[in-house]
Copies of this chain bind each other. A is one copy, B any other.
């Protein structure tokens, strides 16, 4: 097992990365404030891991809420079901919420923990690669609104994170690939050495080799933690983590949540960011090709949906959280392993990138 400490002063917490962590109650029991524990999970994960996890918690006054699975359920309304369950059980402000599932469960559970009685403890047990490398670090919690993704939320840190690579054995291939998209992102934005490692080890990752997965999760979380620790509230550097996200969110919103997985939309978004970076002359065509090839080896899509026009893209991108005073800012690449947040790009070239298929 590897342990990574996320350094946030009094809100610091550990990420445990390894096999079979779900059964090791001694890892997480120290983080509960009382015996009131509510596990939030979904219909896909519950049959696979809920019983095992609850049995490790046998001495707690444990309850479980099983939500429907999918990004479209990441709403205020569904979050309210968690509040109802907590209130029906008379859980007080010493209660602990456990998020057992992917990013949707983690984001929503973290937000519920931030808001219930104005803040209770929570623990993250991410069961997808995407959640293990993304939601584990950064304290972003929240839900979607019909008019925009992740528009309602809070910055709220977990007490600890358990990234159990064993849970990745049951992950659908498509979900594994979506997680690898975010892993590749860390290489692209700040860690060229890791990008090279990924080019050399993509087969091992796709084959779910536990050593390779543990390394990739640890390195991704380290990279994210370094960026986040420098900028906890996302005023500057943290925005680098959104490489591919402005394009990707537009694709997700434009196609309706659920058509593409988040990681798949981000993969396309990263290719679009690389495309615009190349048009700007910041990276060479060979760099862009390396990105496309690496994503393709992870079975990820690399072209935007034909159904989205450049106009629709621009409209959807205007709602992005990185828009400042009406000006669109994008995360682009100045080199492989070196991203930058900038509003300083050519709008004609942006349209060319958006009109990919035209």
Cα A118 to Cα B143 in complex, Å, equals 10
Q: Report A169 CB to chain B, min CB distance, Å.
A: 34
Given A83-B145, A116-B151, A118-B153 in contact, is the A319-B90 Cβ separation under 8 Å? yes
Task: Let me know if A24 is at the binding interface, CB within 8 A.
Answer: no
Give chain A interface residues in 162-192, CB to chain B under 8 Å: none
Give chain A interface residues in 315-334, CB to chain B under 8 Å: 318-319, 321, 323-325
Task: Let me know if A351 is at the binding interface, CB within 8 A.
Answer: no
Task: Let me know if A114 is at the binding interface, CB within 8 A.
Answer: yes
Count the A residues whose beta carbon is within 8 Å of the partner chain — how many?
35
Q: Which of B94, B152, B325 sits near A115, CB closer than 8 Å?
A: B152
Q: Which of chain B's residues has its CB closest to A88's CB?
A: B147
Given A321-B93, A324-B94 in contact, is the A154-B87 Cβ separation under 8 Å? no
CB–CB A87/B142 < 8 A: no
Cα A319 to Cα B318 in complex, Å, equals 44
- Residues in B with CB closer than 8 Å to A116 are 151-152
Task: Let me know if A34 is at the binding interface, CB within 8 A.
Answer: yes
- How does the 8 Å CB contact mask read for A92-117 relative to B, with 1 for contact and 0 for none? 11100000000000000000001111
Q: Which of chain B's residues has its CB closest to A33's CB?
A: B325
Cα A84 to Cα B145 in complex, Å, equals 8
What is the oligomeric copy number?
A: 2
Give chain A interface residues in 103-142, CB to chain B under 8 Å: 114-119, 140, 142
- Residues in B with CB closer than 8 Å to A229 are none
Cα A170 to Cα B34 in complex, Å, equals 48
- Residues in B with CB closer than 8 Å to A118 are 140, 142, 153-155
Task: Let me know if A305 is at the binding interface, CB within 8 A.
Answer: no
Given A87-B148, A118-B142 in contact, is the A92-B154 Cβ separation under 8 Å? no
Q: Report A11 CB to chain B, min CB distance, Å.
A: 13
- Residues in B with CB closer than 8 Å to A90 are 318-319, 323
Binding site for B on A (CB under 8 A): 34, 76, 80, 83-84, 87-88, 90, 92-94, 114-119, 140, 142, 145-148, 151-155, 233, 318-319, 321, 323-325
Query: What are 13 contact pairs spanning A and B, CB under 8 A?
Result: A34-B325, A76-B80, A84-B145, A87-B319, A90-B319, A90-B323, A92-B325, A94-B325, A114-B154, A115-B142, A115-B154, A117-B321, A119-B155
